[in-house]
Each structure stands twice: as C-alpha cells, then as structure tokens.
Amino acid sequence: MLNALSAREELIESIHQHQITRRRFLGRSVAALGACSLVEGLAQIEAFAQEAAANNASKAVVPGRSPLKINKVETFIHRNSWVFVKISTDAGIVGWGEMLKDKSKACVAEAQETAKYLIGQDPRPITHHWQAIYRHGFYRGGPVLTAVLSGIDMALWDIKGKALGLPVCELLGGPTRNKIRIYGGRQDVIEGRCTAMKGALRADDRAAYKYVESAGYVQRAAKNFAQMREQLGPDIDIAFDFHGAVEPQTAMLLIKAIEPYQPYFVEEPVQCQNIGVMADIAKKTHLPIATGERIFTKWGFREVLEQKAATIIQPDICYAGGITELRLIAGIAETFYVPLAPHNPQGPCSLAASCHIDAAIPNFLIQEQGVRTHENLLKNPFKPEKGYLPTPTAPGLGIEIDEDKFMAQVGEPQPYQRSYDRDDGSVVDW
C-alpha cells in the first residue's frame, strides 16, 4: 500500500510537470479508481499521464522554437562612421545589423543600454521586441533611438532567418521579383554597372545655394543637366539630389528649368521639417518628388503621404525603424500608389536588409547601391549585373561579414561635414 501511495505521489508530480489540466486528471482518476483496485487504477492513471506527456511533447516541437537566447550584444564603429551591432546567441547563431552613421557614438551608447533588455531574451519574437524597445521609454522615437532600434531589428531578422534556414524575404511573404534594380553614380553608368544614376544639380563647384539664385546660375545648372542627358541618352535614368540644402525659392526655379529633360526624380528639394512646403513644391511640378532619408517610422511617413509631399519615398533601413517598420511603411505607401526607393549610403548590412524589403514588397522602384567600398567587408561581395542585384536566397540577411577585415577597420568615426557660405561665412546645409 505504501508503494502504491508513493507511486501515486510521483504520478501526481509527473502530471503537474506535464501540465495536464486538473479537470481531465480528476475525471480520468475517479473513473480509474472507481472501476478497479487502487494499484490497477494507478496503473491506468499512469498510462493516461504518459499519453498526455507524449501529446504535450509533440505540441512543444515547433520549428524554430527550440531553446534560443541572446547572450551578447556588441557594437562597433567603422572608421567610415558606419555603426554595426552584432547579436550573439547561446546556439552560436549570430546576427548583424547597422545603424545611422551620423551620431555614431550616441548610437553605440544607446545600443548598450538596450542590450540590458535583450540579454537573456529569445531573439525570434521580433515585433514584440520592436514594440518593447520603442514603447518602454517615456520619450519615443527620435533619430538616435530609432536608429538603434533599426540596427537591432535588422540583426534579429538575420538570426531568425538563419535559425529557420530561410532568407528574410521568404519570412516576409516571399519575393515579388527575381532581381532588384539598383542605381549608382555617373561612373557606374559609364562603366555599365547601372542604367540609372543620381547626382547633384549645380552650376559650378560652389557647395551652397543662395536663398534666391541668379538667372545665370539657374541657366548654367540647367545647361549642365541638359549636357549630361545628351551624353548618356534618354534611356538612362538620371535623378538629382538637392539633399535638403536648397531653399524653396531656388528649388522651384531649378526644378522648372530642368523639367524639359525629364529627370528620374528630384530628391529632397527642401528639408523635411515643414512637410507643407515640400507638398507645395510637389503640386507645382509634374516631376516625381522623392524624400525620406531623414524621416523615421510609419508616423513620420504618414504626414508625407497624406499631404502628397512626395510621389516616391526613400526610407533608410538603418534609421526609419529597420526591416519590421519598412514593411509597414511600404504597405501604407502602397495605398497612395507611391513606390519605395530605399536610401542607402551605408555598409553591407544596410544594402542586404534593404534588398530583402525590395524583394518582398510590390511597390518597389529602385535601390540605392551606396558606397561600394563596403564590399571588402564581405566574404562574398555583392555581384550586380547590368544594373540589377539578384533576389537574396541565403538564410538571414544572406551575407557573411569577414570579421578579420572588419575589425581591422574599426576606429574613430569621421567628423561631421560642416559647410559655410563662401561669400559671407554663414552656416549652410551641405
């Protein structure tokens, strides 16, 4: 009898460990004990417990849900000012991401604060972590906080893809295209690497624009663009970037002057702090207006889209909220028939993550290739062909950082570029 009671106690503990519901346990136990002897009843209950344990075990075996915990978060500043985050797990799976290159030291400091939340967490519920990082501070958003969130989000997607053996674009619903169009600079077009380019629109080597430029300046700038169009031909797409450095009065003069040559798009004709001003410019021209590299999260792009300030948006995956947020921004933009041309002046993680968004969304236009010097950080560099990159197929972000080469280039960031008017010395945008 003592052995039987001891067995019953062990059985109850086993049942508790396997999370059998109290109601099911009592129902089966009463039926078993009421129909036979104590020992026989306990044997039947034990059989039921084994059955329940097997059912629970089968439910626990979910692909990609084996134990996985973050055990290290590291940040690095590349000497080109790019900020990288490396997230390691106890299973040996590592994810890489990038943050905004401006304010690089501030990004590193904030990333280490965020690491206190991440250590010990399962990296795979990415949207949950995005919400926690974004919302668990009294002040939300801002360039530095959102940049840190963007890099971490990117690294978490890299981990999740590797854990499942799938490229990120497959986890976003699968590719909508089999290759991704890219643009570079004029030299990329001349050498046949791209069929689209972006440059500046200026009349001379002066870096700054006046509030109202002279008729001579506007005419010379338009002539320079006309000559470029003639040299490259009508089938090369030529965009130009004001970089938010032009005042509205001059921006409209320049846009009007180059309308006959049909640039691919006009990027950041003015700064983005006053969306209404950009919307006013957009209403006065038939040329596509593009903006977005200094705008972050879906909330920032909502106003741009609602006011029709741009017909092309350019979110930066290292700044606007990462892969998670860009997918949502793309969905909102689709409802306004607005395509994405993601901004990318950064390194390899930025381009790789952007390509997964480009592959997965229906309203993709073209991808900025960025600075090609980042290719020496990869074991297998990107290989564009005739202006396109192939849709990613390798797990995660699909790139492998050459850590020996990478660590040799970690160092002090480049100083921020400062610009002054050469005539009167006043501060101007660069």
Asked about 243 being catalytic, the answer comes back as yes
Work out whether the CA dihedral 30, 33, 38, 41 comes out positive or negative. Answer: negative
Rg (CA), the chain: 28
Copy the structure tokens of residue 317.
Answer: 């995956």
**Which listed residue (129, 343, 356, 374) is catalytic?**
343
**Pairing verdict, β 237-241 and 196-199:** parallel
**Which listed residue (243, 286, 356, 374) is catalytic?**
243
With tokens 């668990």, the residue in question is 136
Asked about 18 being catalytic, the answer comes back as no
Task: Give the span between the Cα atoms of 102 and 82, in whole angstroms.
Answer: 8
Copy the structure tokens of residue 279.
Answer: 């919307």
Rounded to 10 degrees, the C-alpha dihedral 313/318/323/325 comes to -60
Task: Give the span between the Cα atoms of 296 and 320, in whole angstroms.
Answer: 4
Q: Which residues contact 184 (CB under 8 A, 6 or more apart)?
A: 193, 194, 196, 197, 198, 369, 372
Q: Hey, is 120 helix, strand or coil? A: coil
Smallest Cα–Cα separation from 149: which of 314, 291, 358, 296?
A: 296
Q: DSSP string of 159-208?
A: HHHHHHT-BHHHHTT--S-SEEEEEB-HHHHHTTS-SEEEE---SSS---
Size of the chain in residues: 430
Smallest Cα–Cα separation from 183: which of 196, 164, 201?
A: 196
CB 189 within 8 A of CB 195: yes
Smallest Cα–Cα separation from 232: which of 267, 199, 257, 203?
A: 199
Amino acid at 60: A
* Per-position b or e across 280-310, b if 16+ CB within 10 A of its CB: ebbeebebbbbbbbbbbbbebbeebbeeebb
Q: How many Å separate Cα 24 from the centre of its chain?
A: 48
Burial class (CB in 10 A: 0-12, 13-18, 19+), 57: exposed
Residues marked as catalytic: 243, 343
